[in-house]
């Protein structure tokens, strides 16, 4: 059985001269490189076999160049480590048609998953820009993985409204609504095209509630790791699931089985 | 005189809104507003393009429109751009957490330091912590550090009143007040000398903002005059 972490942010390491100008003296460079990420996956018990990886900075991008550069790094590491990484491109939809061009570019280069965080740019997910980008994603047959939280912009109800406009398009509601897990469950009961990941989930027992009230087939292990230490880490995310004592069949689905089915459905080779 | 300090022109890609200076001036004429502060929609990431729209607007209507530019602290050429905008005649800078730089980050502080040197007020389009992950402590630390800078706190809902009470270098606009009564309530802890009339057009109406203030019985004619225009004149050195 493969164990897949469906949510890790990675970035290339920059020389001091390129990053220190935006950091206070004494601060460490933020982020995990692809190689550091693999080390982390190997160090977990049980080890994590594969991860869905994507950038972080371009969730709200100051320029198209920076968005492209970050996505290029993902393309590069997926090619270098095909047995460890599934790649997702990051899109900041506030760039409109330029963002759609970038979406098409990395889709053509082979990425089948796209990450969007509407609250980064203060966009309500169900606004016109959100609908436009989802229409393009649907045309390309890709999988959108969208950050969810408690804000006006990307809470489960707003994301659910967007997903409801595209009933044939599967979507991952990342973080399971964070503090709004019950709202996420309500939305997912009504819309069977929404999946959830378990990253940043506050109450782990809500995984059991999701399985009982919604489905055992639409919930997936994820960590949201984005730093070497502190914050959210893959081992902690694994423990969140392993500590529940789920029946073996359900546990295997959450740890990797569901992700494999979902990723294969959009053309990812696993 | 009436000055409305919160108006957007240009393109809002989130809702496909496209507002021109001409439309705004027509609304001003209908509502009896003498001057408006205008700046881009912060939902638009292409700040240089949108600042051009604002620059053309106040050049075309120099007696009616006052331009603030939007700045993304991540841009490497930020301070050069700010000097250029000041020279062009812009009178304030607008920034927003949506650009991905927190109030505790070095680049944000550099923006504020540059505003201090250029004597520009800083418009913080922030929202509150329940709406967005704006951490109040880092915001207040920054307000405290730059006591020589005037900040306009906009769209910050309930948190703004407490923050403005604690930091005398801040102004509030009326856009997020649900009613004139709420503005009257704010006048007790903050004072009317730090409240500015702002409608958040095109999403708010200029006329509605005046109507909200007109019905407040608790404020004197003098206090309303401060909110309508005198505070803006003092802040912007008009």
Which residue segments constitute the domains of chain A, with CATH numbers given?
Answer: 4-9+28-265 (3.20.20.140)
Picking from B44, B96, B132, the nearest residue to A119 by CB comes out as B132
Label residue B126 by pLDDT band (50, 70, 90): low
Binary contact (A62, B100; C-beta < 8 A): yes
Q: How many CA atoms lie within 13 A of B154 on its CB side?
A: 27
What was the pLDDT predicted at B136?
Answer: 83
Q: Nearest residue of A to residue B99 by CA position?
A: A60
Q: Please give, one letter per residue, the 3-state secondary structure of B82-123.
A: HHHHHHHCCCEEEECHHHCCCCCCHHHHHHHHHHHHHCCCEE
Binary contact (B13, A21; C-beta < 8 A): no
Segment A23-34 shows an average pLDDT of: 86
Segment B8-23 shows an average pLDDT of: 94
How far is it, in rounded angstroms, from Cα A43 to Cα A93? 36
What was the pLDDT predicted at B53?
Answer: 98
Task: Give the neighbor-by-neighbor strand order of the sheet with B170-173.
Answer: B3-8, B35-39, B65-70, B92-95, B122-125, B151-154, B170-173, B195-196
How far is it, in rounded angstroms, from Cα A196 to Cα B73? 34
How far is it, in rounded angstroms, from Cα A130 to Cα A120? 13
Q: How far apart are the CA of A81 and the nearest CA of chain B, in angstroms?
A: 30
Binary contact (B43, A60; C-beta < 8 A): no
Q: Nearest residue of B to residue A119 by CA position?
A: B132
Of A81, A14, A16, A12, the closest CA to residue A52 belongs to: A81
How far is it, in rounded angstroms, from Cα A103 to Cα A93? 10
ipTM comes to 0.86
Residue numbers in A near B97 (CB within 8 A): 122
Of B147, B185, B181, B192, the closest CA to residue B166 belongs to: B147
What was the pLDDT predicted at A146?
Answer: 98
SS3 B136: helix
Q: Which residue of B10, B11, B12, B13 to mutate against A (max A Cβ within 10 Å)?
A: B13
| Domains in chain B, CATH or no CATH each | 3-236 (3.20.20.140)
Residue numbers in B near A92 (CB within 8 A): 45
Containing H/E element for B131? none
Picking from B14, B76, B105, the nearest residue to A123 by CB comes out as B14
Give me the percent of chain B exceeding a pLDDT of 90: 79
CA dihedral sign, ordered A242, A248, A249, A250: negative
What was the pLDDT predicted at A29?
Answer: 78
pLDDT per position as a tens digit, A178-236: 999 999 999 999 999 999 999 988 889 999 999 999 999 999 999 999 988 888 899 99
Residue numbers in A near B76 (CB within 8 A): 21
Of A25-34, A117-126, A238-247, B21-30, minimum mean pLDDT range: A25-34
Q: What is the pTM of this model?
A: 0.92
How far is it, in rounded angstroms, from Cα A12 to Cα A23? 17
How far is it, in rounded angstroms, from Cα A188 to Cα A156? 9
Whether B131 shows a pLDDT value over 80: the answer reads: no
Residue numbers in A near B127 (CB within 8 A): 122
Instruction: Find the Cα–Cα–Cα–Cα dihedral A36, A41, B100, B109, rounded to 10°.
Output: -50
Residue numbers in B near A148 (CB within 8 A): none
């Amino acid at each position: 059985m493969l164990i897949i972490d469906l949510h890790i942010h990675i970035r290339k390491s920059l020389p001091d001269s390129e990053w220190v100008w935006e950091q206070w003296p004494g601060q460490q460079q933020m982020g995990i490189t692809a190689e550091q990420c693999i080390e982390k996956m190997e160090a977990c018990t049980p080890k994590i076999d594969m991860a869905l990886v994507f950038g972080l900075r371009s969730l709200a991008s100051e320029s198209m160049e920076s968005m492209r550069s970050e996505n290029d790094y993902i393309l590069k590491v997926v090619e270098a480590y095909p047995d460890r990484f599934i790649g997702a491109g990051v899109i900041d939809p506030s760039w409109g048609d330029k963002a759609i061009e970038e979406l098409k570019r990395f889709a053509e280069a082979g990425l089948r998953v796209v990450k969007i965080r509407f609250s980064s740019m203060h966009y309500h997910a169900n606004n016109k820009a959100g609908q436009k980008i989802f229409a393009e994603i649907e045309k390309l047959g890709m999988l959108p993985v969208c950050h969810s939280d408690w804000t006006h912009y990307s809470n489960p109800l707003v994301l659910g409204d967007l997903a409801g406009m595209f009933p044939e398009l599967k979507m991952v509601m990342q973080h399971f609504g964070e503090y709004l897990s019950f709202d996420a469950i309500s939305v997912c009961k009504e819309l069977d095209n929404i999946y959830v990941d378990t990253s940043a989930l506050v109450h782990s027992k809500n995984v059991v509630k999701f399985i009982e009230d919604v489905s055992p087939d639409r919930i997936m292990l994820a960590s949201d790791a984005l730093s070497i230490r502190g914050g959210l880490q893959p081992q902690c995310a694994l423990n969140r699931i392993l500590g529940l004592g789920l029946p073996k069949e359900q546990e295997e689905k959450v740890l990797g089985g569901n992700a494999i089915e979902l990723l294969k459905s959009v053309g990812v080779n696993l | 005189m009436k000055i409305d300090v919160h108006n957007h022109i240009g393109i809002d890609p989130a809702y496909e809104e496209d507002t021109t200076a001409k439309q705004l001036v027509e609304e001003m004429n209908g509502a009896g507003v003498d001057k408006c502060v205008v700046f881009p929609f912060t939902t638009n990431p292409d700040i240089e393009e949108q600042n051009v729209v604002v620059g053309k607007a106040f050049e075309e209507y120099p007696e009616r429109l006052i331009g603030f530019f939007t700045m993304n602290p991540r841009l490497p050429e930020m301070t050069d751009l700010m000097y250029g905008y000041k020279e062009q005649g812009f009178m304030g800078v607008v920034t927003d957490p949506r650009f991905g730089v927190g109030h505790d980050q070095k680049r944000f502080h550099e923006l504020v330091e540059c505003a201090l040197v250029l004597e520009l007020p800083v418009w913080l389009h922030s929202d509150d912590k329940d709406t967005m992950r704006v951490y109040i402590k880092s915001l207040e630390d920054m307000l405290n550090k730059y006591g020589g800078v005037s900040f306009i706190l906009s769209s910050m809902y309930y948190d703004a009143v407490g923050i403005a009470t604690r930091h005398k270098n801040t102004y509030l606009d009326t856009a997020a007040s649900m009613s004139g009564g709420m503005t009257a309530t704010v006048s007790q802890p903050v004072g009317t000398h730090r409240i500015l009339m702002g409608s958040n057009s095109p999403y708010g109406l200029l006329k509605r903002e005046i109507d909200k203030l007109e019905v407040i019985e608790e404020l004197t004619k003098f206090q309303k005059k401060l909110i309508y225009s005198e505070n803006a004149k003092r802040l912007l050195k008009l």
